[in-house]
């Protein structure tokens, strides 16, 4: 990936709440192209792996339990300046602090249940995309 792709998850609570299509609409309006997408569910071990960078933090165990609590949607997205522009589209980690009309302000319900994940760097976008999608699923 060369700065034009990012990776996202629609988190279990947003899936449970029926927000998949509204969130995909925001992503579309934001100018992102879908490269790969599917439903999956993480085991606790896989969630711990995915969020390993946060191991030891107070919220880590709860976060991993939450992220493995139900189906999620995983997404590979393409746009110029994808990582930064997607972080802008989703807003701050805490939905209460996220700017108006961002995905997290519209569809998040708490810091933990903040509707979506978005990669924080080109390097992590590639690592996270590879975590979920095989080569034959990426175009």
Chain residues in the site for ligand ADP (CB under 6 A): 54, 59, 63, 93, 111-112, 114, 117, 120
Binding segment toward Mg ion, per CB under 5 A, in 21-29, 39-47, 63-71, 112-120: 112-120
Q: Which is nearer to ligand ADP, 79 or 117 (CB)?
A: 117
Of the candidates 57, 42, 32, 31, the one whose C-alpha atom is nearest the C-alpha of residue 9 is: 42
Q: Which is nearer to ligand ADP, 58 or 135 (CB)?
A: 58
| Candidate list 15, 76, 117, 129, residue with the active-site label | 117
Instruction: Reply yes or no on whether 54 is catalytic.
Output: no
Q: Which does 127 bind (CB under 5 to 8 A by kind): Mg ion, ligand ADP, none?
A: none
- Taking the C-alpha atoms of residue 101 and residue 54, their distance in angstroms, rounded to an integer, is 28
Which helix (H) or strand (E) is 129 found in, with range? helix 122-132
Which helix (H) or strand (E) is 82 found in, with range? helix 82-90
- Taking the C-alpha atoms of residue 28 and residue 34, their distance in angstroms, rounded to an integer, is 8
Site for Mg ion, rule CB under 5 A: 120
């Amino acid at each position: 990936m060369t700065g034009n792709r990012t990776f996202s998850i629609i988190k279990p609570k947003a899936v449970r709440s029926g927000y998949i299509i509204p969130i995909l609409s925001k992503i579309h309006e934001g100018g992102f192209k879908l490269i790969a997408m599917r439903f999956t569910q993480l085991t606790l071990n896989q969630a711990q792996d995915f969020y390993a960078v946060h191991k030891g933090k107070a919220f880590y165990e709860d976060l991993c339990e939450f992220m493995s609590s139900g189906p999620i949607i995983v997404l590979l997205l393409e746009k110029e300046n994808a990582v930064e522009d997607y972080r802008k589209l989703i807003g701050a980690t805490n939905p209460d602090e996220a700017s108006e009309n961002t995905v997290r302000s519209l569809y998040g319900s708490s810091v933990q249940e903040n509707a979506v994940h978005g990669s924080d760097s080109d390097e992590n976008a590639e690592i996270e995309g590879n975590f979920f999608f095989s080569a034959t699923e990426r175009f």
